[in-house]
Amino acid sequence: MPIKQTITSEKIPIKLWLDDIEQGALEQAKNLANLPFAFHHIAIMPDCHQGYGMPIGGVLAAENTVVPNAVGVDIGCGMCACETEKSANEIGVEELKKNLGLIRKQIPLGFKHHEKKQQEKWMPEIKSDLTIVKNEYKRAQKQIGTLGGGNHFINFMKDSKTGKVWIMLHSGSRNLGKRVADYYNQIAKKINKKQNSKVPKKWDLAYLRVDSKEGRRYIDEMNYCVDFALFNRKHMLVKIAQIFLQVTGSKVNLDKMINIAHNYAVKETHFNREVWVHRKGATRARKGEPGIIPGCQGSKSYIIKGRGNLESFKSCSHGAGRQMGRRQAQKNLDLKKEQSELEKKGILHSLRGKRDLDEAPGAYKEISKVMRDQNDLVDIEVELEPLAVVVAGG
Protein backbone atom coordinates (compact mmCIF):
# COMPACT_ATOMS: atom_id res chain seq x y z
CA MET A 1 0.00 0.00 0.00
CA PRO A 2 1.54 3.32 -1.03
CA ILE A 3 1.31 6.68 0.76
CA LYS A 4 -2.38 7.46 1.38
CA GLN A 5 -2.19 11.24 0.95
CA THR A 6 0.31 13.96 0.12
CA ILE A 7 -0.44 17.51 1.18
CA THR A 8 1.40 20.10 -0.90
CA SER A 9 -0.09 23.36 0.41
CA GLU A 10 2.76 24.06 2.87
CA LYS A 11 6.47 24.91 2.52
CA ILE A 12 7.38 21.25 2.15
CA PRO A 13 5.06 18.28 1.47
CA ILE A 14 3.34 16.22 4.18
CA LYS A 15 3.12 12.52 3.38
CA LEU A 16 0.50 10.53 5.30
CA TRP A 17 0.07 6.79 5.77
CA LEU A 18 -3.56 7.12 6.90
CA ASP A 19 -6.88 8.09 5.35
CA ASP A 20 -8.21 10.32 8.10
CA ILE A 21 -6.25 12.59 10.42
CA GLU A 22 -7.82 14.58 13.25
CA GLN A 23 -7.81 18.33 12.71
CA GLY A 24 -5.49 19.11 15.62
CA ALA A 25 -2.86 16.63 14.42
CA LEU A 26 -3.17 17.96 10.86
CA GLU A 27 -2.54 21.52 12.03
CA GLN A 28 0.51 20.36 13.95
CA ALA A 29 1.80 18.53 10.86
CA LYS A 30 1.37 21.73 8.83
CA ASN A 31 3.31 23.66 11.46
CA LEU A 32 6.16 21.16 11.11
CA ALA A 33 6.10 21.54 7.34
CA ASN A 34 6.52 25.30 7.68
CA LEU A 35 9.50 25.24 10.02
CA PRO A 36 12.44 27.05 8.35
CA PHE A 37 14.77 24.12 9.06
CA ALA A 38 12.39 21.27 8.12
CA PHE A 39 13.89 19.09 5.36
CA HIS A 40 12.34 17.46 2.28
CA HIS A 41 8.93 16.41 3.71
CA ILE A 42 7.07 15.49 6.89
CA ALA A 43 6.09 11.83 7.36
CA ILE A 44 2.92 10.97 9.30
CA MET A 45 2.45 7.37 10.43
CA PRO A 46 -0.92 5.53 10.46
CA ASP A 47 -1.22 5.67 14.27
CA CYS A 48 -1.03 9.48 14.28
CA HIS A 49 -2.92 11.61 16.78
CA GLN A 50 -2.47 15.04 18.31
CA GLY A 51 0.37 15.59 20.77
CA TYR A 52 2.16 18.59 22.28
CA GLY A 53 3.72 20.70 19.55
CA MET A 54 4.21 17.74 17.21
CA PRO A 55 1.72 14.98 16.44
CA ILE A 56 2.34 11.55 17.94
CA GLY A 57 3.26 9.31 15.03
CA GLY A 58 5.20 12.06 13.25
CA VAL A 59 8.67 12.13 11.72
CA LEU A 60 10.53 15.41 11.23
CA ALA A 61 13.93 15.69 9.53
CA ALA A 62 15.62 18.95 10.55
CA GLU A 63 18.76 20.60 9.24
CA ASN A 64 21.31 21.46 11.96
CA THR A 65 18.49 21.76 14.51
CA VAL A 66 16.88 19.88 17.37
CA VAL A 67 13.39 20.55 18.72
CA PRO A 68 12.84 19.30 22.31
CA ASN A 69 9.06 19.17 21.88
CA ALA A 70 9.47 17.08 18.71
CA VAL A 71 11.01 14.41 20.94
CA GLY A 72 8.68 14.94 23.87
CA VAL A 73 8.86 14.54 27.62
CA ASP A 74 9.23 10.76 27.78
CA ILE A 75 12.60 10.67 26.03
CA GLY A 76 13.61 7.18 24.92
CA CYS A 77 10.20 5.69 25.63
CA GLY A 78 9.96 2.40 23.79
CA MET A 79 9.31 -1.30 23.74
CA CYS A 80 11.14 -4.50 24.41
CA ALA A 81 10.02 -8.07 23.82
CA CYS A 82 11.39 -11.55 24.61
CA GLU A 83 10.25 -15.04 23.73
CA THR A 84 10.01 -17.55 26.57
CA GLU A 85 10.65 -21.30 26.46
CA LYS A 86 7.05 -22.03 27.51
CA SER A 87 4.02 -22.71 25.32
CA ALA A 88 0.78 -20.96 26.17
CA ASN A 89 -1.09 -24.25 26.44
CA GLU A 90 1.30 -25.27 29.23
CA ILE A 91 0.39 -22.25 31.36
CA GLY A 92 -2.90 -22.12 33.22
CA VAL A 93 -4.91 -19.08 34.20
CA GLU A 94 -3.80 -19.39 37.81
CA GLU A 95 -0.13 -19.30 36.77
CA LEU A 96 -0.74 -16.19 34.70
CA LYS A 97 -2.56 -14.56 37.62
CA LYS A 98 0.34 -15.44 39.92
CA ASN A 99 2.79 -13.81 37.47
CA LEU A 100 0.68 -10.66 37.38
CA GLY A 101 0.32 -10.57 41.14
CA LEU A 102 4.07 -10.88 41.77
CA ILE A 103 4.82 -8.27 39.12
CA ARG A 104 2.47 -5.81 40.82
CA LYS A 105 4.21 -6.47 44.15
CA GLN A 106 7.79 -6.31 42.90
CA ILE A 107 7.70 -3.66 40.13
CA PRO A 108 6.50 -0.17 41.09
CA LEU A 109 3.67 1.00 38.81
CA GLY A 110 2.23 4.41 37.97
CA PHE A 111 3.84 7.21 39.97
CA LYS A 112 5.43 4.79 42.44
CA HIS A 113 9.18 4.18 42.66
CA HIS A 114 11.59 2.03 44.68
CA GLU A 115 12.06 2.94 48.33
CA LYS A 116 15.81 2.38 48.03
CA LYS A 117 18.29 3.43 45.36
CA GLN A 118 19.00 0.66 42.88
CA GLN A 119 22.56 -0.55 42.31
CA GLU A 120 24.89 1.52 40.13
CA LYS A 121 25.14 -1.34 37.63
CA TRP A 122 21.59 -0.59 36.51
CA MET A 123 22.40 3.03 35.65
CA PRO A 124 24.01 4.16 32.37
CA GLU A 125 27.45 5.67 32.75
CA ILE A 126 27.65 9.47 32.67
CA LYS A 127 30.28 10.26 30.04
CA SER A 128 30.01 14.05 29.78
CA ASP A 129 28.85 17.13 31.66
CA LEU A 130 25.12 16.49 32.05
CA THR A 131 23.66 19.18 34.29
CA ILE A 132 20.08 17.93 34.65
CA VAL A 133 21.03 14.25 34.72
CA LYS A 134 23.52 14.87 37.54
CA ASN A 135 20.95 16.85 39.51
CA GLU A 136 18.36 14.09 39.10
CA TYR A 137 20.71 11.10 39.35
CA LYS A 138 19.93 10.03 42.92
CA ARG A 139 16.19 10.28 42.34
CA ALA A 140 16.60 8.39 39.06
CA GLN A 141 18.26 5.53 40.96
CA LYS A 142 14.91 4.95 42.67
CA GLN A 143 13.02 5.18 39.37
CA ILE A 144 15.12 2.70 37.39
CA GLY A 145 13.20 -0.55 37.06
CA THR A 146 9.74 1.05 37.39
CA LEU A 147 6.96 1.05 34.83
CA GLY A 148 5.54 4.57 34.98
CA GLY A 149 1.99 5.66 34.24
CA GLY A 150 -0.27 6.26 31.26
CA ASN A 151 -0.21 3.55 28.59
CA HIS A 152 2.94 1.82 29.84
CA PHE A 153 2.35 -1.90 30.21
CA ILE A 154 3.69 -5.41 30.72
CA ASN A 155 2.04 -8.01 28.47
CA PHE A 156 2.08 -11.79 28.29
CA MET A 157 1.29 -12.80 24.71
CA LYS A 158 1.07 -15.92 22.55
CA ASP A 159 2.74 -16.49 19.19
CA SER A 160 -0.15 -17.23 16.81
CA LYS A 161 1.89 -19.87 14.95
CA THR A 162 4.13 -21.58 17.53
CA GLY A 163 2.06 -20.99 20.66
CA LYS A 164 5.15 -19.80 22.54
CA VAL A 165 4.63 -17.18 25.25
CA TRP A 166 6.23 -13.78 24.74
CA ILE A 167 6.72 -11.01 27.27
CA MET A 168 6.38 -7.45 26.00
CA LEU A 169 7.08 -4.26 27.93
CA HIS A 170 6.44 -0.58 27.21
CA SER A 171 8.13 2.08 29.33
CA GLY A 172 10.37 5.15 29.18
CA SER A 173 12.73 7.46 31.04
CA ARG A 174 10.37 8.33 33.88
CA ASN A 175 10.75 11.73 35.56
CA LEU A 176 14.36 12.06 34.38
CA GLY A 177 13.29 12.42 30.75
CA LYS A 178 10.59 14.92 31.64
CA ARG A 179 13.05 17.08 33.59
CA VAL A 180 15.49 17.15 30.67
CA ALA A 181 12.73 17.85 28.13
CA ASP A 182 11.10 20.63 30.14
CA TYR A 183 14.42 22.32 30.97
CA TYR A 184 15.69 22.48 27.39
CA ASN A 185 12.30 23.40 25.96
CA GLN A 186 12.30 26.44 28.26
CA ILE A 187 15.89 27.26 27.26
CA ALA A 188 14.91 27.02 23.58
CA LYS A 189 11.93 29.33 24.14
CA LYS A 190 14.14 31.97 25.75
CA ILE A 191 16.75 31.76 23.00
CA ASN A 192 14.13 31.90 20.22
CA LYS A 193 12.48 34.93 21.81
CA LYS A 194 15.80 36.72 22.14
CA GLN A 195 16.65 35.97 18.50
CA ASN A 196 13.18 36.99 17.24
CA SER A 197 12.53 33.52 15.85
CA LYS A 198 10.19 33.26 12.87
CA VAL A 199 8.61 30.16 14.46
CA PRO A 200 5.37 31.31 16.17
CA LYS A 201 5.35 30.78 19.94
CA LYS A 202 1.89 29.19 19.78
CA TRP A 203 3.27 26.28 17.72
CA ASP A 204 5.23 25.17 20.80
CA LEU A 205 8.17 24.09 18.62
CA ALA A 206 11.04 26.05 20.12
CA TYR A 207 14.36 24.84 18.74
CA LEU A 208 18.10 24.71 19.39
CA ARG A 209 20.88 24.77 16.82
CA VAL A 210 23.01 21.64 17.11
CA ASP A 211 26.22 23.68 16.92
CA SER A 212 25.20 25.82 19.91
CA LYS A 213 26.28 25.07 23.48
CA GLU A 214 22.65 24.51 24.50
CA GLY A 215 21.94 22.28 21.50
CA ARG A 216 24.96 20.08 22.21
CA ARG A 217 24.00 19.77 25.87
CA TYR A 218 20.43 18.84 25.02
CA ILE A 219 21.63 16.13 22.64
CA ASP A 220 23.97 14.69 25.29
CA GLU A 221 21.30 14.68 27.99
CA MET A 222 18.67 13.33 25.59
CA ASN A 223 20.97 10.45 24.64
CA TYR A 224 21.52 9.66 28.31
CA CYS A 225 17.75 9.51 28.78
CA VAL A 226 17.44 7.13 25.80
CA ASP A 227 20.00 4.88 27.48
CA PHE A 228 18.27 5.24 30.85
CA ALA A 229 14.95 4.17 29.31
CA LEU A 230 16.61 1.05 27.86
CA PHE A 231 18.28 0.22 31.20
CA ASN A 232 14.90 0.74 32.86
CA ARG A 233 13.25 -1.81 30.57
CA LYS A 234 16.12 -4.27 31.06
CA HIS A 235 15.90 -3.95 34.84
CA MET A 236 12.18 -4.81 34.76
CA LEU A 237 12.64 -7.64 32.28
CA VAL A 238 15.23 -9.31 34.50
CA LYS A 239 12.79 -9.14 37.41
CA ILE A 240 9.91 -10.44 35.25
CA ALA A 241 12.11 -13.30 34.00
CA GLN A 242 12.88 -14.27 37.61
CA ILE A 243 9.19 -14.24 38.45
CA PHE A 244 8.33 -16.26 35.32
CA LEU A 245 10.97 -18.87 36.17
CA GLN A 246 9.72 -19.07 39.76
CA VAL A 247 6.09 -19.55 38.70
CA THR A 248 6.43 -21.69 35.56
CA GLY A 249 9.89 -23.26 35.81
CA SER A 250 10.68 -21.84 32.35
CA LYS A 251 13.25 -19.32 31.20
CA VAL A 252 12.84 -16.06 29.28
CA ASN A 253 15.32 -15.65 26.41
CA LEU A 254 16.75 -12.33 27.59
CA ASP A 255 19.78 -12.66 25.30
CA LYS A 256 17.45 -12.34 22.30
CA MET A 257 15.59 -9.27 23.57
CA ILE A 258 14.27 -6.92 20.89
CA ASN A 259 14.39 -3.25 21.90
CA ILE A 260 13.15 -0.13 20.14
CA ALA A 261 12.70 3.50 21.14
CA HIS A 262 10.07 5.79 19.67
CA ASN A 263 10.79 9.23 21.19
CA TYR A 264 14.20 10.62 20.22
CA ALA A 265 16.23 12.61 17.70
CA VAL A 266 19.25 11.21 15.91
CA LYS A 267 21.61 12.27 13.12
CA GLU A 268 21.02 10.25 9.95
CA THR A 269 21.55 10.64 6.20
CA HIS A 270 18.44 10.88 4.03
CA PHE A 271 18.11 12.05 0.43
CA ASN A 272 21.88 12.73 0.39
CA ARG A 273 21.66 15.15 3.33
CA GLU A 274 22.79 14.75 6.93
CA VAL A 275 19.78 15.68 9.07
CA TRP A 276 18.43 15.29 12.60
CA VAL A 277 15.51 12.88 12.42
CA HIS A 278 12.94 13.40 15.17
CA ARG A 279 10.70 10.40 15.76
CA LYS A 280 7.88 11.15 18.19
CA GLY A 281 5.72 8.10 18.61
CA ALA A 282 7.41 6.57 15.57
CA THR A 283 9.81 3.63 15.30
CA ARG A 284 12.88 3.33 13.11
CA ALA A 285 12.39 0.65 10.43
CA ARG A 286 15.58 0.25 8.43
CA LYS A 287 15.66 -2.65 5.97
CA GLY A 288 15.76 -5.91 7.91
CA GLU A 289 15.73 -4.15 11.30
CA PRO A 290 13.60 -5.96 13.91
CA GLY A 291 10.92 -3.94 15.68
CA ILE A 292 7.78 -4.09 17.79
CA ILE A 293 4.33 -2.65 17.04
CA PRO A 294 1.90 -3.23 19.91
CA GLY A 295 -1.86 -3.06 19.82
CA CYS A 296 -3.99 -2.21 22.85
CA GLN A 297 -4.57 -4.64 25.73
CA GLY A 298 -7.33 -6.40 23.82
CA SER A 299 -5.73 -6.73 20.39
CA LYS A 300 -2.83 -8.35 18.61
CA SER A 301 0.72 -7.03 18.60
CA TYR A 302 3.48 -7.65 16.09
CA ILE A 303 7.18 -8.35 15.85
CA ILE A 304 8.20 -6.82 12.53
CA LYS A 305 11.14 -6.21 10.24
CA GLY A 306 11.61 -2.86 8.59
CA ARG A 307 11.52 -2.42 4.84
CA GLY A 308 13.74 0.67 4.81
CA ASN A 309 11.21 2.85 3.00
CA LEU A 310 12.93 6.13 2.14
CA GLU A 311 9.65 8.06 1.98
CA SER A 312 8.99 7.48 5.70
CA PHE A 313 12.62 8.27 6.60
CA LYS A 314 12.86 4.52 7.28
CA SER A 315 10.21 4.72 10.00
CA CYS A 316 6.91 3.07 10.96
CA SER A 317 4.17 3.42 13.56
CA HIS A 318 4.86 2.83 17.26
CA GLY A 319 1.50 1.22 17.99
CA ALA A 320 -2.19 1.37 17.19
CA GLY A 321 -2.62 5.03 18.11
CA ARG A 322 -5.41 6.66 20.08
CA GLN A 323 -8.81 7.43 18.58
CA MET A 324 -10.06 8.95 21.83
CA GLY A 325 -8.42 11.28 24.29
CA ARG A 326 -8.02 9.99 27.85
CA ARG A 327 -10.85 12.04 29.37
CA GLN A 328 -13.08 11.37 26.37
CA ALA A 329 -12.61 7.62 26.80
CA GLN A 330 -13.28 7.75 30.54
CA LYS A 331 -16.45 9.74 29.91
CA ASN A 332 -17.88 7.94 26.86
CA LEU A 333 -16.83 4.29 26.99
CA ASP A 334 -18.92 1.66 28.78
CA LEU A 335 -16.83 -0.12 31.43
CA LYS A 336 -18.90 -3.30 31.54
CA LYS A 337 -18.94 -3.59 27.76
CA GLU A 338 -15.17 -3.10 27.50
CA GLN A 339 -14.56 -5.63 30.27
CA SER A 340 -16.95 -8.12 28.69
CA GLU A 341 -15.21 -7.95 25.32
CA LEU A 342 -11.85 -8.69 26.95
CA GLU A 343 -13.22 -11.49 29.08
CA LYS A 344 -14.86 -13.15 26.07
CA LYS A 345 -11.37 -13.45 24.61
CA GLY A 346 -10.05 -14.92 27.86
CA ILE A 347 -7.70 -11.98 28.47
CA LEU A 348 -6.60 -11.14 32.01
CA HIS A 349 -6.99 -7.38 31.68
CA SER A 350 -6.40 -4.25 33.75
CA LEU A 351 -9.80 -2.54 33.43
CA ARG A 352 -10.77 -2.38 37.09
CA GLY A 353 -12.71 0.85 37.17
CA LYS A 354 -13.98 3.76 35.10
CA ARG A 355 -10.70 5.66 35.41
CA ASP A 356 -8.98 2.78 33.55
CA LEU A 357 -11.11 3.33 30.44
CA ASP A 358 -8.44 5.62 28.97
CA GLU A 359 -6.55 2.39 28.21
CA ALA A 360 -9.56 0.36 27.08
CA PRO A 361 -9.51 -1.18 23.58
CA GLY A 362 -12.27 1.24 22.52
CA ALA A 363 -9.91 4.18 23.05
CA TYR A 364 -7.53 2.91 20.36
CA LYS A 365 -7.52 2.55 16.59
CA GLU A 366 -7.91 -0.88 15.02
CA ILE A 367 -4.39 -2.32 14.88
CA SER A 368 -5.15 -4.51 11.84
CA LYS A 369 -5.95 -1.42 9.77
CA VAL A 370 -2.87 0.38 11.06
CA MET A 371 -0.76 -2.58 9.91
CA ARG A 372 -2.43 -2.67 6.48
CA ASP A 373 -1.80 1.05 6.05
CA GLN A 374 1.94 0.57 6.55
CA ASN A 375 2.58 -2.67 4.68
CA ASP A 376 5.09 -0.78 2.54
CA LEU A 377 7.02 0.14 5.69
CA VAL A 378 7.26 -3.20 7.55
CA ASP A 379 6.92 -6.94 7.15
CA ILE A 380 5.21 -8.94 9.91
CA GLU A 381 7.46 -11.61 11.39
CA VAL A 382 5.46 -12.74 14.44
CA GLU A 383 1.80 -12.17 15.28
CA LEU A 384 1.11 -12.09 19.01
CA GLU A 385 -2.22 -12.59 20.76
CA PRO A 386 -2.84 -11.14 24.25
CA LEU A 387 -3.08 -13.41 27.28
CA ALA A 388 -2.61 -11.15 30.29
CA VAL A 389 -1.61 -7.55 30.88
CA VAL A 390 -0.56 -5.10 33.56
CA VAL A 391 -1.31 -1.51 32.54
CA ALA A 392 0.22 1.12 34.80
CA GLY A 393 -2.52 3.74 34.53
CA GLY A 394 -2.14 7.12 36.20
Mean pLDDT by 10 residues, the chain (394 residues): 89 96 96 98 96 96 98 96 95 94 94 92 90 95 93 94 96 96 98 96 97 97 97 97 96 95 98 98 97 92 97 96 86 87 86 84 89 97 95 67
Active-site pick, 49, 278, 318, 349: 318
pLDDT at 1 (0 to 100): 52
| Neighbouring residues of 313: CB distance < 8 A, sequence distance ≥ 6 | 43, 59, 61, 268, 270, 277
Q: In whole numbers, what is the pLDDT of the chain averaged over residues?
A: 94
- Which of 81, 84, 97, 89 lies closest to 245 in space, CA to CA? 84
318 assigned to active site: yes
Q: Give the tens place of pLDDT for each residue, 172-219.
A: 999 999 999 999 999 999 999 999 999 999 999 999 999 999 999 999
- Residue 377 vs residues 208, 256, 267, 286, 371: alpha-carbon distances, Å: 30, 23, 20, 9, 9
Residue 273 near residue 87 (C-beta atoms within 8 A): no
Beta-bridged to residue 303, according to DSSP, are 292, 382
pLDDT at 2 (0 to 100): 73
pLDDT at 394 (0 to 100): 44
E strand or H helix that includes residue 196:
none
pLDDT at 388 (0 to 100): 94
Distance CA 244, CA 387 (A): 14
Domains with residue ranges and CATH for the chain = 5-323+364-393 (3.90.1860.10)
pLDDT at 305 (0 to 100): 98
Buried b (16+ CB within 10 A) or exposed e, 247-272: bbeeebeeeebbbbbbbbbbeeeeee
pLDDT at 58 (0 to 100): 98
Backbone phi and psi for residue 291, each to the nearest 5 degrees, phi listed first: -155, 180
- Which of 145, 155, 147 lies closest to 171 in space, CA to CA? 147
Distance of CA 293 to the CA centre of its chain: 10
| Number of CB atoms found within 10 A of residue 160's CB | 11
- Residue 257 vs residues 30, 84, 193, 282, 327: alpha-carbon distances, Å: 37, 10, 44, 20, 34
pLDDT at 354 (0 to 100): 86
pTM of the model: 0.95
